[in-house]
Amino acid sequence: MSREKILIIDFGSQYNQLIARKVRELNVFCEILPPDFSIESIDPKEVKGIIFSGGPASVYSKGAPQCDRRLFSLGIPILGICYGMQLISKMLGGDVAKSHRREYGRASLNVTNHKLLFKDVPKTSISWMSHGDKVRRMPKGFIRIAKSANTSIAAFADFNRNFFGVQFHPEVEHTQAGKTLIKNFVKLICRCRADWSMKSFITETVSDIRSTVGHDKVILGLSGGVDSSVAAILINKAIGHKLVCIFVDNGLLRKDEAVLVKEIFRKHFKLNLRCVDASEEFLTNLRGVTEPEKKRKIIGRTFIKVFDREAKSIGNVKYLAQGTLYPDLIESKSAFGGPSATIKTHHNVGGLPKKMKLKLIEPLKYLFKDEVRKVGRELKMPQEVLGRHPFPGPGLAVRILGDVTKERCDILREVDDRFINTLKRENLYDKIWQAFAVLLPIKSVGVMGDERTYENVAAIRAVTSVDGMTADWAWIPYDVLAKISNRIINEVKGVNRVAYDISSKPPSTIEWE
């Protein structure tokens, strides 16, 4: 696919994805690459500009990440941010001063040259700093274009080669001139056409998939979640019934989920959809298992088995499609980014390809979640699918603490249904990132009418979050909490107590298991 793009070289900054977001908001495609990417793998005609991200290292420390020196000879504009600026300085013969104190937070930026990068930027503005070292002597050909109280060279430029460096972070909201600066780099300096949109993405992707797949068949595990659903509709647009979607009812789904998926995807979108009821197989395999990670492993393995069986019975399948998103890709690639420890093994269809020897098709792998939703809207997918809260692969099994049985799944489905429906009625569903109910492995005493009851306890959990990595419990108004608890206790047989989870992540996690 030939399209103009900006490359972002990832030196380990926590803000990398923010840089990418800002560039994409300007309708320009961008990719995040690790510092050691192969320069041969890029097409200099496509790459309009390169951004060196910030990073935690010091350019002089042992093992500090570097980039390929040849990047400076491609005739492509470069913008270095923080560590990126220091790296430009070091690699082109300037000097970086080591500092033992980090300058952190707001700083007043004073622009001394408004040409190109700082066009339309006020003389003074607030910028966000987060650095230890700073440039002491600029490389040959560079001039200072901004200063701050603590940093005499807060930004520099080589206008002949179109190399720029800023000591602050233009990608964060606190930097007042940040948006203008990135726009100037992308549009004025790199001269991007800025014609990348979800519409053009769909057109390009559809034509790509068509020419890749040819007459072969593709299978996709459709969960009904946003990512696999959008991937399915997109691929269906490209190759129609050569795409076979497999929806596995593992008995751990939410109320009416299987019906909804059939209704929307088979009837409305006319997908070639196979629905497999494997609930007994899953529940049998889970019998007596209480350990969360063991549950995940069993579910992952059973899923692979069921999927494999279906794929074989379809025959002639060459490709496996997945709804992988960009953040998953960056995390697994980045030398610095990914989470350091596996807290929970997340089982998607990730284990499938190696076993099945299928080629992968991942049409959403360069998109962020909200871009995927935009693609879905372009494809006229209903809000009911696009606005759905995330649902874990292992489903209700990790929300039933202890033993997972059909009876307990049934109770939890009803509890969850009353909770989610009340949130929708009260117009709170879309304001909450994820909400669900959990069935606890204990019973408590209650009184209903004149009778003593001894029944299950359900917990309800609702969180606000941006990406699920951190989360806060949602401040649901008391009157709504009252309605939720009334409905659950009155309408769901087998539950006589409801508790609201008021823990944030960290230190808790979103799911209970």
Active-site residue set: 82, 169, 171
Does residue 178 bind ligand XMP (CB under 6 A)? no
Residue 83 to residue 126: CA distance in whole angstroms: 20
Contact 200, 43 (CB under 8 A): no
In Å, how far from its chain's centre is CA 341? 18
SS3 track for 474-489? CCCCHHHHHHHHHHHH
Applying CB under 6 A, among 393, 488, 496, 498 the residue interacting with ligand XMP is: 393
Please spell the DSSP secondary structure of 261-320, one letter per residue.
HIIIIIIIS---EEEEE-HHHHHHHHTT---HHHHHHHHHHHHHHHHHHHHHHH--EEEE
3-class secondary structure, 234: helix
Of 51-59, 245-253, 357-365, 388-396, which part binds ligand XMP (CB under 6 A)? 388-396
Q: How far is the CB of 389 from ligand XMP (least distance, A)?
A: 8
Helix axes 226-239, 198-213, angle to 10 degrees: 60
Task: Note whether 184 binds ligand XMP by CB under 6 A.
Answer: no
Instruction: Compute the distance between CA of residue 263 and CA of residue 260 in angstroms, rounded to an integer.
Output: 5
Residue 174 three-state SS: coil
Q: Among the candidate windows 117-125, 385-393, 408-416, 418-426, which touches ligand XMP by CB under 6 A?
A: 385-393
296 binds ligand XMP (CB under 6 A): yes
Please say whether the beta carbons of 240 and 206 come within 8 A. no
Report how far residue 161's alpha carbon sits from residue 80's, in angstroms, rounded to the nearest whole number. Answer: 13
User: Under a CB-based contact definition with an 8 Å cutoff, are residues 88 and 78 in contact?
Assistant: yes
Return d(Cα 513, Cα 511) in angstroms, integer: 6
Smallest distance, Å, CB 463 to ligand XMP? 8
Minimum CB–partner distance for residue 260 and ligand XMP (Å)? 19
Query: Residue 392 interacts with ligand XMP (CB under 6 A)?
Result: yes
297 binds ligand XMP, rule: CB under 6 A: no
Asked if 511 is part of the footprint of ligand XMP (rule: CB under 6 A), the reply reads yes
Site for ligand XMP in 405-444 (CB under 6 A): 434
Check: CB of residue 178 under 8 Å from CB of residue 22. Answer: yes
Binding region for ligand XMP (CB under 6 A) out of 121-129, 155-163, 332-340, 390-398? 390-398
* Binding-site size, ligand XMP (CB under 6 A): 16
Minimum distance, C-beta of residue 436 to ligand XMP, in the bound complex (Å)? 8
- Residue closer to ligand XMP by CB (options 156, 391) is 391
The single-letter DSSP state of residue 395 is G
Cβ–Cβ under 8 Å, residues 479 and 487: no
CB of 79 to ligand XMP, least distance (A): 33
CB of 510 to ligand XMP, least distance (A): 3
Whether the Cβ atoms of residue 301 and residue 281 lie closer than 8 Å to each other:
no
User: Interface mask (CB under 6 A) for ligand XMP, residues 451-480, using x and -?
Assistant: -----------------x------------
3-state secondary structure 323-365: CCCHHHHHHHHCCCCCCCCCCCCCCCCCCHHHHHCCEEECCCC
* Binding characters for ligand XMP, 331-360, by CB under 6 A (x = yes): ------------xx-xxx------------
Nearest distance from C-beta of residue 398 to ligand XMP, angstroms: 6
- Annotate each residue in 304-323 with x if it binds ligand XMP (CB under 6 A) or - if it does not, as one string: --------------------
Binding ligand XMP (rule: CB under 6 A), the pick from 326, 394, 460, 485 is: 394
Q: Which residues bind ligand XMP (CB under 6 A)?
A: 296, 343-344, 346-348, 390, 392-394, 434, 468, 505, 509-511
